[in-house]
Chain A
């Protein structure tokens, strides 16, 4: 069983809808991530939160709006999406740290399969 939980598992939305993806982890990790994955491609980084602050935004369009309400939760608010935004959205978490024994692996959720019609 995954320790990173994402809801919903599937989402179909129209281009004028507003929806949110949710992610929760209880591993005490202080870094949380959103990745987007298209079919037959590797995951593509969108956002990173470190200690609940946005630390990386990979030039993601503003129709995607991340939010980190606390150390366990991560949301991705969606508005006015395009059909090409249809993809698997993966949340991940990791410890934050540097050093020779660090660089914690990512722990992924099962993802939300998003279809924009």
Chain B
């Protein structure tokens, strides 16, 4: 079974704080793909990152960084020095190699960044 859990329903921080959004996944596939999406109030889901299961290298993109740990089945997302524009709902998602058109989304974490 494929499943993604985002235990944090809502997080509030003050601007310039660092914040980490947790994502834990379950899959029986040995090859799979993990994604993070951002959904601002406007509604569009914006793709942020894709990570393959065979590549555990962490990634940094500006203020964003991702920590992939297969040992704990986690793919956490950290925003450094948060800004008000980071306020959005963030979804973690999983897809498998053989069922690549099906994306399993977590329930989402709403991030509120206050000035």
Interface mask (A77-117 → B, CB under 8 Å = 1, otherwise 0): 00000000000101010101111111101111111010000
Q: How many residues of B contact A (CB 8 A)?
A: 25
Residue of B nearest to A6 (CB): B44
Q: With an 8 A cutoff between CB atoms, is B102 at the interface? A: yes
- Interface set, chain B 83-106, CB cutoff 8 A to A: 91, 95, 97-98, 100-103, 105-106
* Cα(A105)–Cα(B48), bound, Å: 9
The answer to whether A107 touches B97, judged by C-beta atoms less than 8 angstroms apart, is: no
- Bound Cα distance A108, B19 (Å): 25
Interface presence of B64 (CB below 8 A): no
Which of A97, A99, A106, A110 contacts B47 (CB under 8 A)? A106
Per the CB 8 Å criterion, the residue count for chain A at the interface is 32
From A11-19, A43-51, A61-69, give the one contacting chain B. A43-51
Instruction: Give the distance to chain B from A42, nearest Cβ to Cβ, in Å.
Output: 4
* Bound-state Cα–Cα, A31 to B108, Å: 24
Q: Are B107 and A110 in contact (CB under 8 A)?
A: no
- The docked-state distance in angstroms from the alpha carbon of A109 to that of B43 is 9
Is A55 interfacial (CB 8 A cutoff)? Answer: yes
Please, what's the 1-or-0 string for A28-52, where 1 marks a CB less than 8 Å from any CB in chain B?
A: 0001010000001111010010100
